[in-house]
Structures are given as C-alpha cells and as structure tokens.
Chain A
Amino acid sequence: MESMEIQTLPKPKTTSTATEHITGSEAVIRCLLAEGVETVYGYPGGAIMPVYDEFYKYQDQLQHVLTRHEQGATHAAQGYARISGKVGVAIATSGPGATNLITGIADAQIDSTPMVCITGQVGAHLLGSDAFQETDIVGISTPVTKWNYQITKASEIPEVMAKAFYIAQSGRPGPVLIDITKNAQFESFDFSYEKCKAIRSYYPVPKCEPKAIKAAANLINGAKKPLIVWGQGVLLGKAETILKEVVEKAGIPAAWTILGASAIPTSHPLNVGMVGMHGNYAPNKLTNECDVLIAIGMRFDDRVTGNLETYAKQAKVIHFEIDPAEVNKNVHADVAVLGDAHTTLSQLLPLLNTNSHDEWLQEFRALDTVEFEKVIKGDLHPDKEGLTMGEVIAAINNETKGKAAIVSDVGQHQMIACRYAEFQETRSNITSGGLGTMGFALPAAIGAKMAAPHREVIAVIGDGGYQMTIQELGTIFQTKTPVKIVVLNNGFLGMVRQWQQLFFDKRYASTELTNPDFVSIAKGYFIEAHRVTERKNLKEAVQTMVQHEGPYFLEVCVEKEDNVFPMIPTGASVSDIRLE
C-alpha cells in the first residue's frame, strides 16, 4: 500500500491578509486554504472549470478527490466532517452537477453536518436565460441549506466564503451552498482574506441561563427514576467527557439516539443503549416510566418518540439544546437549557448531587435480559443455518476491539450495526440518520478514512444501498483509500420487505433484488474481494479484511428474510415496542 498523499500535504502558506491581485477562481482556492481545508470532493464541468484550473496549480497544497458522481462528493464531505468535526467541502459544476449535490445537502441539513458546497454557475449576463447547464441552484437548495448565496462578482468571494465557513460550523452546524458565476471566477480583483467572526443577524449559540441550569439540577437531584437521552449535540459540542462525568456523578442511566452513538463507550455500565424504532427494549420501555427525562442535544425525532401523545407523559422533561427552534417543537420541555452541550453540562455538573439509582438501573437490566433472550441471542449466536447480520457485526467488534469507525448505510443492516457495534471511541458511528439516505455509506467511508487515516473505517452496507453509489469504488481505487467494505447481502431491500411482511400481508412489491456478482465488480476495480456464505468462514474472512493494508471488499450472504427487532411500529407508543 502506498502511503496516502493527504498525510504528507504541506501546511497551507496563505493566511495573510495582505492584498494581492488575483482571479476569482484563485481566490476560491486561497479562501479554502485560509480556512484550513486540505481535501475537497468534487466533479468538474464547464461552469466550474476556472476553479479546477486553480486546483491544478495548487495541487501540492490542496487535494481534490474526483468522485464518480456529485452525490458521492457530498457524502464523502459529510463522512469527512462527521469523523473529524471539520467542515467538509464539495464542489460541482452548474446544472446537473449542482442538482446532484442536493441529496447530500439535504442529508447534511437534517443531520447538522458542517459542509460547504461550491457550485459553478453560468455567466452573470446569462442568468435566467435557460443557458446551457443553467439551473437555479440557489432556489433549489434554499430549503435544505443553512445558508446559501450566489456570487456574481469576484470581489464578493472572500467575504462570502468566510461567512460560509463560519455559518457551516458555528452553532448548530449545517450545509452552506455558494454558487459562483463563471465571470466572477475569471475576473481579477484585489484579494485579501479575513475570517468571519460574527454576523449581526445570526446568533449561533443562545445564552445559557444560570436559572435554567439551576432548575435542571434541582429536578435531576430530586429524581427517583431519571433517564438521559443524548443525541449528536453531545458530539457536535465536544461534550463527550463532560456528559460521562454527569452520568457517573448523578448515577443516571443514559441512552442515545442513532446519531449520538459512540459519545460514551458501549460498554459503560450506565450506557443503557439506543432509543427509537429499532432501539433497545429497556430504554424505550422505560422512557414511559422515568420521572425526569433529560434530553441532551437531541431533537425528539418521530423515529425516537413514536406516538407523541403517549411519549413520556409521566415525566418532567429537561431539554438541553443549542437550537431554540427545537425546544417545544415535538415534546414540551418543563425546563429548557439553551446553549451548547459542553457549556451547559459543565455548568450543570457542580450542581449535581453524587447519586446512584441502583433499583432503577435494575429495571433496565431486567428488560435487557428479556431482550437478550428474545432478540439478541438469536441475532448474535444463532442456532439456525443462515448467517445473521448481527453475527457479522459481532465478528467486526471482535476483530477491531471496538476501535473501528462504522459507516453504515440505511436499512436493516444499519439498525443492526448501530445496535450491536461496540464503540470505544467517539465519532465512530457515521450514518445517515434523519434523511435515511441509501447510498450514503460507501462515499462517506471514503471521506471518513481520508479525514482520519489512522482509524480503521469499515463501511457496512446493504445490497440495495450499495448499488446506489457503487460507482465510488472507482474513487477508492483511484485514491487507494484503504476503506473496508462489508456488504450484507440478503437479496432484498430488507427493511421495506420487513414492513411488507408485517404490515402489507407479505406482498413483496419490488423489494427482491437480482444481484450481480459483487466480488467480480470489486475485483474489476482492482479491489481485493471475498465472499462468505457459511458461518465457519466468517471470522477468518473478517480477520483477513481488517488485516489487509489496502481497500478491501467483503460480501456476506446473510439470511434472506430476517427481521430487525425490537420494533416500535409507526404511530405506536414507545412502550408498545415489539420483540417479535
């Protein structure tokens, strides 16, 4: 395996604010360098060519990764951002290049991922004239961006780019799209760069009220059956350690949403598992038993709450949240603590009594046993012939000792991966949560591996989602990015099939897949590949994959019609969670 170029990139030289006369396209690169960007993902085309010409000139300072589709560029940028906390950057041309970014942008918006997308646009004199590859990408992207802007003059570039990076990563992060007309890329102007530090109409982090902290502490200190549910806000706020201290000091069972996974190690005794539709039995059931529900950096998504009419009605709710629009949106907060999770939890910690809730914790343990007997045992230690998805995840856990970052796609395999992955490090669960974007994992794994080359990055993907962005194997091959790809092949769009089985009388409309030879396809891209069909070969196959130095593809043929349980059917209460 050749050493990866990105590890040896020289540090950017250009952060000075001195004025230079340069083109708009060069200014774009200089802005990226000034923001500390090392890698961008994209795809060239007519309206962005001047910027690509500058990529060529600056290739020793800025790596451009050519994905095989613009959607792949956005997901790679997301994977990069999610594992590193830095802003991911994607770039595309106008028209179809720009519209192909939309799915990734929408995904980043709903999952609060810091991303800056740059699109080329037809010349300003052609705007609105239905010119070749013209599309109103600012209009199209408005509802799915945190902010967007069209630049028509080169002189606007530094200020707008600075705003873009500031907005993307401050407060509740999100995607920003900057559309740059071709004339603005060609024009020359006097360039100087200054980072954006504030915008008068934008208040990224609301002020934390000491009164609210005190009220929260009082409720928590008085609680008999407190339950913490944390979300991605903990990771985004870099509040993992302080959360762990809060949990340990107050002795509170703590559950997580899918995007909160890995903030506290899976094995932590107070980590009581995942909430939500396919989450763990105990935290879902006991959401409706707790007396104080402490929500931290999560937004009460419907996949978490089930029927709101019957969600935690008995509990006092404390909501730690950075985005005021999320407070009282879905669940009424008795106490709302605004601010970023690190600040608010740090202020909360000294006010908390040292405590333990052993009896309450025993209720979790008892339900865990029920879940183990009814679900987990069969998933992880099956006595039937066919391979289960769960035992593949268990084999990965075993081989990586929980150190791997798992990048999952969307569907049954995703739920299984999130349920059974044993995370030891934070930012280890990279998945498409809110939008549920099939095709996310393969390109996201590329970005994740490039941002964190020292980490083992394993993409776990279903056979359906894999084929939505399978062309990114080309990107992996060309960049020699050593991601490990595990496709759990059940020959079905498994989650939809499960719903058809449970709610549509087994009418399997368009969910069965006739699949190609995935191993041959991977090999066609000169990626080492292997297929496992029997249990006795699984452990060794996973071991070979993990030990392999370059990219590796492993197909595991699993039982065709397994279901994911537990399950809260849509519209049901969290306490009506089904085990079979």
Chain B
Amino acid sequence: MSSEKKLFTVSIYTENNIGLLNRISAIFQRRHINIESINTSISEIEGVSRWTIVVAVAEEQIKKILGQIEKQVDVIKAYYHTDEETIYQESCLFKIKSDLFFEDIAIQKIIKETHVRIVTVDREFFVLEKSGRKSEIEVLHQQLKPFGIMQFVRSGRIAVTKEPLNISSLLTAF
C-alpha cells in the first residue's frame, strides 16, 4: 500500500444529528490533516445524510481514518474512493460588473465557449455559474480574472461512485 499522499474522496452516510460535523472533523484534526473540501446533504435514503469529504493523504492513513469515522455511533457507513472510481463535480459562481458583459466581446466569447450559465443579469452586476471539475473551474477563473471579479465562490466536491454502495441493505433491519 502506498504511503504517498493522494487525493481521496470519502463518502459517509450518517444520521442527521447536531454536532456530528464537529465529531467527524475532529478525526481529521487530531491527525493534523487539512480537509480540502466538505459537503453534506440529504442522500438517496430518506432521513440519512451523505457527506463528501476530500483529503490528500496516504492510502494507509485513509483506511485508518475510515475505521475511526465508522466507529462513531451516528455513522452508518463510510467509504473512500479514488478520483477514477467516482463521478464528481464542483460548482462555482462569479459575480462580475454588468458593463463588462455588454461592452466586452472577449467575455461574451468565454461565456459561449465554456458553457457557463448566466444565472442573473442585473443593472450593476451579472452572475455566472459553472459546474465541472475543479480544474475546469480554475481555468475559467483565470480567464475571467483580468476582467475583474467582484465575488467568486466555489462549492466543495460532490461525488457519486461508479460501483453500487449497497448502503440500503445495511438499513433494512430497521
């Protein structure tokens, strides 16, 4: 098993309880690991939350972390995956001055070529949305930067696995 650091996506199914974020993040904190991104949402199972955490660690370490996550009482099941094993996306928003939108041909060209979505156009600003890989978003960010970005925000990664996770069978007993 490699002790080289690699990007892993951790998927966790949990109960939806107050304080669980603290409990999960503490497992990374005590090992001095910085979380690259974290997202929680509902899942395909009613009443069950799904977490997507991205960390750069060695595989032998992520296995140990997974054990420590899974032993938490409110955690139903945890998995880790490589990028190749998942379909993943991130989403971002750019807020840009409106006059640029109307007056700069270059920006219109970028919008067309990158399939970015125009969310809103206001008198003062317009907002662009783009979903995709982090790298795509970074390229777009670099392209738009020279025009002046009023605000930029990017979401954490969300990911589904190519293989089934069979989580529902764990819950059928209840």
Contacts and interface: CB of A to CB of B under 8 A. Distances in A.
B70 A142 contact: no
Interface in B1-52: 14-15, 18-19, 22-23, 26, 30
Interface stretch (A85-93, A199-207, A365-373): A199-207
Contacts of A199: 73
Interface in A128-175: 138-139, 142-143, 146-150, 167
B19 A138 contact: yes
Given A201-B14, A325-B67, A328-B63, A167 B22 contact: no
B171 A323 contact: no
Nearest to B76: A201
B174 A200 contact: yes
B173 interface: yes
Interface size class of A (residues with CB under 8 A): 20 to 34
Contact of A143 (B30, B63, B70, B174): B30
B71 interface: yes
A139 B22 contact: yes
A198 B67 CA distance: 20
A325 B62 CA distance: 12
A324 B70 contact: yes
A59 B26 CA distance: 40
B63 A200 contact: no
Contacts of A57: none
B68 A142 contact: no
B18 A150 contact: yes
Contacts of A327: 67
A196 B64 CA distance: 29
B68 A147 contact: no
A201 B22 contact: no
A142 B19 contact: yes
A381 interface: no
A329 interface: yes
A200 B18 contact: no
Contacts of B14: 201
Contacts of A326: 67
A148 B19 contact: yes
Nearest to B13: A201
Contacts of B64: 325, 328-329
B83 interface: no
Nearest to A148: B19
B140 interface: no
Contacts of A324: 67, 70-71
Interface in A176-220: 198-202
A167 B73 contact: yes
Interface string B51-81: 0000000000001100110110111100000
A202 B67 CA distance: 13
Contacts of B26: 142-143
A104 B63 CA distance: 29
Contacts of B74: 147, 201-202
A5 B15 CA distance: 43
Contacts of A142: 19, 22-23, 26
A167 B18 CA distance: 18
A138 B19 CA distance: 8
Interface string A519-532: 00000000000000
A323 B73 CA distance: 13
A201 B73 contact: yes
A146 B68 CA distance: 11
B73 A325 contact: no
A138 B64 CA distance: 25
Contacts of A200: 15, 76, 171, 173-174
B13 to A, nearest CB: 8
Contact of B68 (A198, A325, A328): A325
B75 A201 contact: yes
B101 to A, nearest CB: 42
Given A200-B173, A200-B174, A201-B76, A323 B71 contact: yes
B73 A202 contact: yes
Contacts of A201: 14-15, 73-76
A201 B167 CA distance: 11
B75 A139 contact: no
Contact of B71 (A150, A325, A328): A325
Contacts of A329: 64, 67
A323 B67 CA distance: 9
Interface in A292-343: 323-329
Contacts of A148: 19
Nearest to B24: A142
B52 to A, nearest CB: 18
A147 B73 contact: yes
A369 B74 CA distance: 52
Contacts of A202: 73-74
A335 B173 CA distance: 29
A117 B52 CA distance: 32
Contacts of B18: 150
A327 B22 CA distance: 25
B84 to A, nearest CB: 24
Nearest to B23: A142
A45 B68 CA distance: 35
A528 B171 CA distance: 60
Nearest to B173: A200
Nearest to A171: B71
B33 to A, nearest CB: 14
Nearest to B21: A142
A150 to B, nearest CB: 7
Among B18, B64, B71, B76, find the residue whose CB has the most chain A CB atoms closer than 10 A: B71
Contacts of A139: 19, 22
B122 to A, nearest CB: 35
Contacts of A328: 63-64
Of B63, B67, B173, which is in contact with the most chain A CB atoms at under 10 Å from its CB?
B67
Contacts of B73: 146-147, 167, 199, 201-202
Contacts of B71: 323-325
Given A201-B73, A325-B67, A329-B64, 6 more contacts: A139-B22, A143-B30, A150-B19, A324-B67, A326-B67, A328-B64
Chain A to chain B: the 4 pairs with minimum beta-carbon distance, closest first:
A325-B67, A200-B174, A143-B26, A201-B76
12 contacts: A142-B22, A142-B26, A143-B26, A143-B30, A147-B73, A149-B19, A150-B18, A150-B19, A199-B73, A200-B15, A202-B73, A202-B74
Interface of B: 14-15, 18-19, 22-23, 26, 30, 63-64, 67-68, 70-71, 73-76, 171, 173-174
Interface of A: 138-139, 142-143, 146-150, 167, 198-202, 323-329
